[in-house]
Amino acid sequence: MISPDAAFGQRVRLAISGLPGSMQSFAGTPLAKTPEEVLGVISDGAPQVILLGPGVNLDEALRLASAFDVQHPDISLVLVRETDPDLTLTAMRCGIRDILAPDAEPDTIRVLLERACQSAASRRRSISPSSAPEEPLGRIIAVAAAKGGVGKTTVATNIAVGLGRIAPMSTVLVDLDTQFGDVDTVLRIVPEHTLKDAVTGAAAQDTMVLKTLLSVHPASIYALCAPSDPADSNRISGEEITHMLRQLASEFRYVVVDTAPGLGEHTLAALEAATDLVLLCGMDVPSVRGARKELDVLDKLQMTSQKRHLVVNNATRDSGLSIQDIEATLGAPVNLAIPRSKALAYSTNQGEPLLHQRSRDKAAKALHQLVDRFDPESAQLRKGLHRRAGV
C-alpha cells in the first residue's frame, strides 16, 4: 500500500486479517516514478497487488500504473479514489485494475483485494503456464436430503461458515434449490446476481467473471444464491450446474452445495461432481426411509465416488427411534447426530448462522465436529478413531 493516510491503512489491515500473505505500507510522498523504484523497496518479493491509496497524486499514480501495465502486467494496481465515469475510463486505460472508494469498509476492501489477488494469479499463469504448478481442485461438499424440512439449508450454511474460518475467502456456498432456495434469507444478504447469471454468458466461459457475481458474507465466505423467480429453474440444465461447480472448485478450497430435496436433475448433477455427500435425515420414520431410498438409488446409479457423511439432525431421546434403529434401516453407521436446539432454530430465523455467533450451544458443538470432518488437520487427529454417534 502506498498512502500517507494512516486511518485508511488501518482499515486495510483489518480487511486482510486472516488472509494468507502480508502487507507493506509506504507513505509515497513523493511517489516513485518507475516500477523499479517501487519494487526495490519491497522486501518480500514481487507483490500481487499495489494499492495506490488516499493522498497519492492522481497524475503521478496514473503514470506509474501505465509503466506497470507494460513492464509488470501480472501485478494488479488498485486506485483509491471517488469515482466518476471519466476517471474510471482513464484509469483503466492506464492499467488500473480496480477503483476503491476512500471510505470503504473493511469487508468491501477485503473482497476487492482478494479479487485483485486472484486476477494477478490468473495473469501470472497465462504469462508462464509451463512454469506454473497445476492447482488442485477444491472439495465439493453436497448437502442433501430425501425430504424437505430436515434442516438442510441450516446445516449447509453452518458448514460454509465453519469452513470460512479454516479457509477465509476460499469457501463458497451455492444454493442449488433453484425454485425455493433461501440461502439469502438464512445469511441475511441481498444478492445482486443469482445462479441464473452464473451459468450463462461470460461467467460460463471465464471463472474470474463468475467470481464477480458472488455475494460476500461477513463470515469470510462467498455465496451464490438461488434465482428469485422459480420459473428460472427450468432454464438451468444439469450440465450447466456441473460445469459451474467445477469452475468454482478450480478457484475455491471448499464449495458447499445446498441441494433441493429429492433427486432432481440439478441435485444429481451436484452429486455427480461432489467429492463429499452430507446426507441428512430427521429422527422420524418417513425421513429415515427416504434417506435409505436415496442411498439405494445412488448405489444403483453407481454414484458411489463421494465420501459419505450420514447425519441425523434435530436428534432427541424422546422421538421413539434410536441411533441404532436408524443405522439398521440405513444399513450404514451414522457419523454424527446434531441435537435439537432452540438456539439453532433461532439463529436461522435471525439470519445469522449459529457458527458465526461463536455459540457454546450443544448443536454448535456438533456442527463444529461436522466441519472438522473436512479439515485435513482435524481429520489427521481423528485417524484411526471411531466413535458411535449419540444423542
Q: What is the per-residue pLDDT for 212?
A: 84
The cell numbers describing 114, all together, are: 482478494
pLDDT at 205: 87
Q: What angle do CA 63, 67, 68 make, to 5 degrees?
A: 115
CB 331 within 8 A of CB 308: no
- pTM of the shown model: 0.71
Asked if 192 and 142 count as a contact pair (C-beta separation under 8 A), the reply is no
Residues 225-256 as b or e (16 or more Cβ within 10 Å = b)? bbbeeeebbeebebebbbbbbebbbebbbbbb
Sketch the domain layout of the chain as residue ranges. 6-127, 139-382
Question: So what's the pLDDT on residue 388?
Answer: 57
The pLDDT, as a whole number, for residue 33 is 84
DSSP character for 4? S
The reported pLDDT for the residue numbered 131 is 42
Q: What are the percentages of helix, strand and coil residues in the chain, rounded to 5?
A: 45, 15, 40
pLDDT at 113: 86
Q: How are strands ordered across the β-sheet holding 49-52?
A: 49-52, 76-80, 96-100
- Would you give per-residue pLDDT tens digits along the chain (391 residues)? 999 999 999 999 988 887 777 888 888 778 888 888 888 888 777 788 999 999 999 999 999 999 998 888 889 999 999 878 788 888 888 889 889 999 999 888 988 888 788 777 767 765 554 444 444 579 999 999 999 999 999 999 999 999 999 988 889 999 999 999 999 999 999 999 999 999 988 888 888 789 888 998 988 899 999 998 999 898 999 999 999 999 999 989 999 999 999 999 999 999 999 999 999 999 999 999 999 999 999 999 988 777 999 999 999 988 889 999 999 999 999 999 999 999 999 999 999 999 998 888 999 999 999 999 999 876 555 554 455 566 6
Q: Give the separation between CA 201 and CA 218, rounded to whole angstroms.
A: 28
Contact 118, 21 (CB under 8 A): no
Question: How high is the pLDDT of residue 133?
Answer: 41
Per-residue DSSP letters for 184-231? HHHHT---SSBHHHHTSHHHHH-HHHHHHT-EEETTTEEEEBPPSSGG
- What is the Rg, in whole angstroms, of the alpha carbon atoms belonging to the chain? 23
The cell for 345 is 432454530
What is the fold, at CATH topology level, of the domain defined by 139-382?
Rossmann fold (3.40.50)
Domain 6-127 and domain 139-382, same fold? Reply is: yes
Question: In one letter, which amino acid is 344?
Answer: L
Architecture, CATH, for domain 6-127? 3-Layer(aba) Sandwich (3.40)
Closest CA to 121 of 85, 97, 157, 145: 97
